[in-house]
Amino acid sequence: MVKVRTKDVIEKFELELISGEEGINRPISTSDISRPGIEMAGYFEYYPAERIQLLGKTELSFLKQLNHFDRVSRLERLCTDITPGIIITREMDIAQELVEACEREAVPLMRSKQKTTRFSSLLTNFLESKLAPTTAVHGVLVDIYGVGVLITGKSGVGKSETALELVKRGHRLVADDCVEIRQEDEGVLIGNSPDLIEHLLEIRGLGIINVMTLFGAGAIRSNKRITLVINLELWDKTKQYDRLGLDEEKMKIIDSEITKLTVPVRPGRNLAVIIEVAAMNYRLKKMGMDAAKQFNARLHDVIEEGDQEEE
């Protein structure tokens, strides 16, 4: 499925379309951008035709120095049937040969007001966000004290009810039931809600509720980086649960590994408070304050003192 097309770039950055309008639906398959300076000099051996071509002051000034024959031939080779578009920055004047070449090959020729380096950075960030690897996870995503907590578990375990309690306690809902996740960088997972169920919570026996309508705009957010996964599961008497917190479990999502905690569910446990404290404790660990390790060190010291007294 095509994630982004040339027309999306035009709309996002309000670009002026000069020629090649027939090609605005061309797909963009990579976030890499090309500044074809060496191609302007006549070397097309490794020309990355599938990238958006960005022409700034340097490329256009060199183009003016070429004779008419070289200029036409090189601009024609610049415009291929897979080139998603050519963008001129700084609102600079465009050579008529380039306008005609883009029109013949249906390559969108666009112009931006921004400086080349600044525009290149913005465009790269936009394309990386749109073209990032994606997946969907069954769960609830909540922003708790700035920590993106993904709550998972089997259907009916109480994920949505826990999220509702967290929202009542002042935290923000990102997504319920289905969380769309994209990996924008190594170890960076961003979660958001599908448009169809954005701001909605499903509570069994109550139905669908709109969190923003009930609790206000401060109770929701559109996306959040996921840094902690909490898996809710029904209490299993035969299973040994972690009581100290020294062992850190990981969950792999796409190519990133995220810290995972397993919280057993049984009557009388306040899951919202437990998850809230888990998020705060995670923040403390990232700041270098690990209560479990501190306790383990103190316990080790006590045992050593006891051994010395016996000697």
Does residue 225 sit in helix, strand or coil?
strand
Task: Given the residues 243, 247, 252, 307, select the one marked as catalytic.
Answer: 243
**What's the total number of domains in the chain?**
2
pLDDT given for residue 38 in this prediction: 93
- Pair 185, 279 in one domain: yes
CA torsion, ordered 111, 90, 29, 181, to nearest 10 deg:
-110
- Pair 110, 146 in one domain: no
Annotated binding-site residue numbers: 153-160, 202
Is there a domain that residue 227 lies in? yes
CATH code of 52's domain? 3.40.1390.20
- Is 177 catalytic? The answer is yes
- Does the structure show a pLDDT above 70 at 307? no
Task: Given the residues 51, 74, 111, 159, select the one marked as catalytic.
Answer: 159
Average pLDDT in the chain: 90
Annotated binding-site residue numbers for ATP: 153-160
pTM score, two decimals?
0.75
- Pair 117, 191 in one domain: no
- Tell me which residue range forms the domain holding 57: 6-131
Q: How do 172-175 and 109-111 pair as beta strands?
A: unpaired
- Pair 125, 176 in one domain: no
Contact call for residues 10 and 94 (beta carbons, < 8 A): no
- Over the stretch 43-67, which tens digit does the pLDDT of each residue have? 999 999 999 999 999 999 999 999 9
CA-only gyration radius of the chain, Å = 28
Task: Given the residues 77, 177, 225, 290, select the one marked as catalytic.
Answer: 177
- Pair 15, 122 in one domain: yes
pLDDT given for residue 139 in this prediction: 94
Q: 183-210 burial string, b = 16+ CB within 10 Å, else e?
A: beeeeebbbbbeeeebbbbeeeeeeebe
* Mean pLDDT within 126-139: 91
- Is 159 catalytic? The answer is yes
Residue 15 DSSP label: P
- Does the structure show a pLDDT above 80 at 102? yes
Task: Given the residues 104, 113, 118, 138, select the one marked as catalytic.
Answer: 138
pLDDT given for residue 292 in this prediction: 67
Query: What does residue 30 show for φ and ψ, rounded to 5 degrees?
Result: -140, 150
